[in-house]
């Protein structure tokens, strides 16, 4: 019983972790992309479509990643090349993504999907309890853990990561030092898009292997909140993602048990939890100020 619950928590947490990690990198470079929900849903629908067309969920995963990255380029072009308002453009990306995915996925509604199968890691998967929990998982789960470690290393141990943080903290100085601000930001935005696309693919290939309109259900927004919650640190994203996964699954189980609380109130729990978490994290103005990339959301036009 416990094992089954923990497994569902992991499945619910994985898309949140991945999407937040992508957004974390984008924000570390100083760009606020509010279009996570839109990129995620595009990843979900394209991953589903590619899987249906080819019969291979792995090609679906790749397609989802590519879809997210390509879609994020729209945002990149507007905000980085045309210096449009980042908040408004991110919203536009979400609105367009939700519309476009509904249009693309119309013929998929009700079709059975193909689930991404777990891969058992030899030896490790034989460990009782832990083995089946952590080492008999699907590819996307392994990727999520690799991403946490990889991004932590990249941001805090690599030269390029240092440059990227420098851009996020002060783009004018970084530019003066000869760092290509716009190019780095394009890459960071695309990485964020690719992660959101992967998170979407997880939804339509693992979490519920089918296509449902608006199936992201606000997860993109929760992922954005998680970045704040994690104060822009990858390892804390992992913790936050699992906390939210637990809340989501906990309320589902409570609904199934019928504990006398209306199901709508339980469904509202993850959203309410997001607000509570944001309050706890943000109330100390000084720590927020220290952690937030200082150039976040500010437009940059290179002066020569």
Does 158 interact with another protein (rule: CB under 8 A)? Answer: no
Q: How far is the CB of 110 from another protein (least distance, A)?
A: 15
Enter the DSSP assignment of 126: G
Does 111 interact with another protein (rule: CB under 8 A)? Answer: no
Q: What is the DSSP string of 215-253?
A: TTTTHHHHHHHHHHHTTT-HHHHHHHHHHHHHHHHHHHH
Of residues 102, 161, 209, 250, which one binds another protein by CB under 8 A? 102
Phi/psi region, residue 217 (left: phi>0; alpha: psi -120 to 50; beta: rest), is left
Does 176 interact with another protein (rule: CB under 8 A)? Answer: no
Does 53 interact with another protein (rule: CB under 8 A)? Answer: no
Binding mask 183-202 for another protein (x = CB under 8 A): x--x----------------
Q: How far is the CB of 73 from another protein (least distance, A)?
A: 9
Q: How far is the CB of 120 from another protein (least distance, A)?
A: 37
Residue 189 pairs in a beta bridge with none
Closer to another protein by Cβ: residue 105 or 234? 105
For residues 290 and 284, give the distance between their C-alpha atoms in angstroms, rounded to a whole number. Answer: 10
Residue 120 pairs in a beta bridge with 136
Q: How far is the CB of 12 from another protein (least distance, A)?
A: 16
Q: How far is the CB of 7 from another protein (least distance, A)?
A: 26
Closer to another protein by Cβ: residue 85 or 173? 85
Does 132 interact with another protein (rule: CB under 8 A)? Answer: no
Residue 119 pairs in a beta bridge with 137
Does 84 interact with another protein (rule: CB under 8 A)? Answer: yes
Does 149 interact with another protein (rule: CB under 8 A)? Answer: no
CA atoms within 13 A on the CB side of 181: 25
Residue of 102, 81, 94 whose CA lies nearest to 34: 94
Of residues 39, 74, 201, 206, which one binds another protein by CB under 8 A? 74
Of residues 103, 111, 173, 291, which one binds another protein by CB under 8 A? 103
40: which residues sit within 8 A by CB, 6+ positions away?
15, 19, 68, 97, 196, 197, 199, 200, 203, 216, 219, 220, 223
Cβ count within 10 A of residue 99: 12
Q: How far is the CB of 55 from another protein (least distance, A)?
A: 25
Does 82 interact with another protein (rule: CB under 8 A)? Answer: yes
Binding mask 262-281 for another protein (x = CB under 8 A): x-xx-xx--xx-xx--xx--
Phi then psi for residue 215, to 5 deg, are -70, -15
CA dist list (Å): 221 to 35, 102, 216? 9, 18, 9
Q: How far is the CB of 235 from another protein (least distance, A)?
A: 21
Closer to another protein by Cβ: residue 157 or 304? 304
267: which residues sit within 8 A by CB, 6+ positions away?
251, 255
Q: Which residues contribute to the site for another protein (CB under 8 A)?
A: 34, 74, 76-78, 80-85, 87-89, 91-92, 95-100, 102-103, 106, 180, 182-183, 186, 218, 221, 224-225, 228, 262, 264-265, 267-268, 271-272, 274-275, 278-279, 282-283, 285, 288, 301
């Amino acid at each position: 019983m416990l094992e089954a619950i923990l497994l569902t928590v992991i499945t619910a947490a994985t898309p949140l972790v991945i999407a937040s990690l992508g957004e974390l990198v984008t924000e570390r470079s100083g760009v606020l992309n509010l279009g996570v929900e839109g990129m995620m849903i595009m990843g979900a629908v394209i991953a589903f479509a590619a899987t249906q067309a080819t019969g291979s969920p792995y090609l679906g995963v790749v397609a989802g990643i590519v879809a997210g990255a390509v879609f994020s380029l729209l945002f990149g072009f507007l905000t980085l090349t045309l210096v449009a308002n980042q908040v408004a453009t991110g919203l536009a990306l979400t609105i367009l993504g939700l519309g476009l995915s509904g249009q693309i996925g119309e013929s998929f509604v009700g079709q059975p999907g193909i689930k991404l199968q777990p891969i058992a890691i030899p030896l490790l998967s034989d460990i009782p309890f832990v083995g089946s929990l952590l080492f008999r998982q699907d590819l996307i789960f392994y990727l999520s853990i690799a991403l946490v470690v990889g991004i932590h290393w990249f941001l805090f141990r690599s030269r390029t990561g240092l440059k990227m943080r420098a851009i996020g903290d002060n783009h004018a100085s970084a530019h003066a030092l000869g760092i290509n601000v716009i190019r780095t930001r394009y890459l960071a935005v695309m990485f964020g898009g690719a992660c959101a696309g992967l998170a979407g693919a997880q939804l339509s290939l693992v979490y519920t292997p089918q296509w449902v309109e608006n199936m992201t259900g606000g997860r993109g927004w929760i992922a954005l909140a998680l970045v704040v919650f994690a104060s822009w640190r990858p390892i804390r994203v992992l913790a936050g993602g699992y906390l939210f996964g637990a809340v989501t699954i906990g309320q589902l189980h409570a609904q199934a048990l019928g504990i006398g609380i209306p199901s709508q109130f339980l469904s509202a729990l993850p959203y309410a939890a997001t607000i509570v978490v944001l309050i706890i994290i943000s109330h100390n103005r000084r720590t927020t100020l220290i952690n937030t990339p200082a150039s976040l959301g500010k437009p940059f036009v290179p002066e020569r």
